[in-house]
Amino acid sequence: MHHPLEAYTARRPNLAGVLDAMRHRGRYAKKTRNISYGPGGRSHLLDIWRRPDLPEGYRAPVLIHVPGGGWSVNDKRGQGYPLMTRMSELGWICVSVNYSRSPRNAFPAHIIDVKRAIAWVRANIAEYGGDPDFIAITGGSAGGHLSSLAALTAGDPTLQPGFEAADTSVQAAAPYYGVYDLTNTDNMHPLMMPLLEHVVVQRRLADHPELYRDASPLHRIHRNAPPFFVLHGESDAVIPSSQARAFTAALRKSGPRTVSYAELPNAHHAFDTIATLRCQLAAEAVASFLGIVYGRHLAAGKRTRRVAVSSAS
């Protein structure tokens, strides 16, 4: 199946490759950096990546990127650039978000912020040329955990305090090397649980098992979950690939949806941090997946909200 934006992107300028991804933030987000989506100062800032030459009247599908960093050193700068570069080239609008860090903030502050960002995007992205009816989400490591959890908990009022009525659904998810089960101590790095108990959740698993279960994407899967493409490195020593395989299997078992899985041979944790051919190919695979899901969305006539292009900034 062709990417639904292929006719336009075939005419795109000859942009530099993925190795120049760091320069692309300046190209695509020069005038749309550090936009506030909430009251949390630097923790509630986002960058919007968009091609400056998007045609008049165009409504671009949206990809939100949630950075990783152990829920404690996350920053929207420097992460996800290869994928966001490729998606921007394809005519998508990408939104990279900051969120509250630990240990200053304990879980669930992180996921609340991610959902607040989704709500902001849905309410405001049309002003930047985005389609609020199609929002996908991605992220690596802690960002893989949070993006998956967000995709599976749309409308959960316990994770949306003060904005319970906001639409925080997403239409697709593509998590990279995430942690999907916070309750399985046998299936994670030995230092992961101490990090969770003392820094991130700041509660012991033995004393608060339901908190850890509710924070685990594996245990929030339901029949109406959106399409997923899960990517993981075969040699990941931080989060074993068995976590991703178990998560993918549970998604496939829970209901009829598109669920894809890619386990990259010899790839380690954070395999997309440094731009490589493998990183570029992974981005191409995600672009193809998202293009297929978006194409089905358009074919089903699910785009319902339209905003006049004159309102775009």
pLDDT of 284? 96
Structure tokens at 28: 């695509």
| pLDDT of 306 over the 50 cut | no
Q: Render pLDDT for 8-26 as a digit per residue (tens, 0 to 9).
A: 343 343 334 444 555 666 6
Query: Domain residues of the chain, as ranges?
Result: 17-301
246-282 residue pLDDT tens: 999 999 999 888 999 999 999 999 999 877 889 999 9
pLDDT for 155-188, tens place per residue? 999 999 999 999 999 999 999 999 999 999 999 9
How far apart, in Å, are the Cα atoms of 143 and each of 5, 75, 207, 213, 274? Answer: 27, 10, 26, 18, 17
Tokens (6 digits) for 9: 């992107």
How far apart CA 129 and CA 131 sit, in angstroms, is: 7
What is the per-residue pLDDT for 57? 80
Active site residues: 141, 236, 269
Of the candidates 203, 206, 228, the one whose C-alpha atom is nearest the C-alpha of residue 218 is 228
C-alpha–C-alpha distance, residues 215 and 211, integer Å: 6
**Strand, helix or coil for residue 46:** strand
Alpha helices in the chain (DSSP H): 6-9, 21-28, 81-89, 109-124, 142-152, 192-195, 209-214, 241-254, 277-299
Residue of 152, 179, 162, 58 whose CA lies nearest to 112:
162
Superfamily of domain 17-301: Alpha/Beta hydrolase fold, catalytic domain (3.40.50.1820)
Mean pLDDT for the chain overall: 89
Q: What is the pLDDT of residues 55-74, one digit of tens each?
A: 878 899 999 999 999 999 98
User: Distance from first CA to last CA of the chain, Å, rounded?
Assistant: 33
Q: In what order do the strands lie in the sheet with 35-36?
A: 35-36, 45-49, 93-97, 60-66, 130-140, 172-176, 228-233, 259-264
User: How does residue 28 score in pLDDT terms, banded at 50, 70 and 90?
Assistant: confident
Give the Cα-Cα-Cα angle 197, 200, 202 (nearest 5 degrees).
Answer: 45
| Residues pairing with 66 in the sheet | 139
CA 106 to each of CA 38, 211, 217, 275: distance values in angstroms, whole numbers, following the listed order: 18, 12, 18, 32
